[in-house]
Amino acid sequence: MNSFKCPLIEKIQNEKARMYFFLGEIQKRYPNPVCALTHSDAFQLITATILSAQCTDVAVNKVTPALFAKYPTPTVMAEAKQADVEKIIHSTGFYKNKAKNLIAMAKMLVTEFGGKAPDSMEELVKLPGVGRKTANVVLGNIFKVPGVVVDTHVMRISDRLGFVPGGDPVKTERALEKLVPQKEWINFSHQVILLGRDLCAARRPLCGKCPVNPEYHIIKPVS
């Protein structure tokens, strides 16, 4: 992970107090966060999240309208030819493996789950191409089951804030579950991802504009 550490660590050394402050600031900045991936049901969200691996949500949202128009249900997707799926999702990267997983995922939904997405972590991660991140995305956004979604933004910011060192997604998920109130888990993930995209970038974090930075509150312009 990036060795950069957020100035907030020096200002608030107690981990729980730091998280309390962090939560307050991201909740004020992103009061009503929503999933950035366009979808209308669980199948579409699973599909979009699989496509989002090593790809931006914006890029995924550009290809999914055509993909869902041609393959609107798991039953239809299960019968797709891989080459046809590859053509549609090519721009998302790793398209061969993603196409293979999408078709296999759809087939499993049809053969083992009656064509509907399961509503448990244990069953969701059985689907090809679905890990804990994708499962938590679906559980939180579709079934309203609390979970902490850990993507690269969440891992990076959690490390920078001194909550979870390193880049292990499962360790990050477990640690954040202990620090963040369960009722905030779903929104928390969306808010941290938005912060990562807007301000806390991997290479050049915009600390001067970040409300989490203690100095921001000193020099913050009057609105």
For the annotated catalytic residues, the residue numbers are: 133, 151
Length of the chain: 223
Which letter does DSSP use for residue 73 in this model?
S
* Distance (Å, whole) CA 39 – CA 218: 41
Contact, 113 vs 123, CB < 8 A?
yes
Contact, 135 vs 117, CB < 8 A?
no
Tell whether the torsion through CA atoms of 165, 167, 168 and 174 is positive or negative. positive
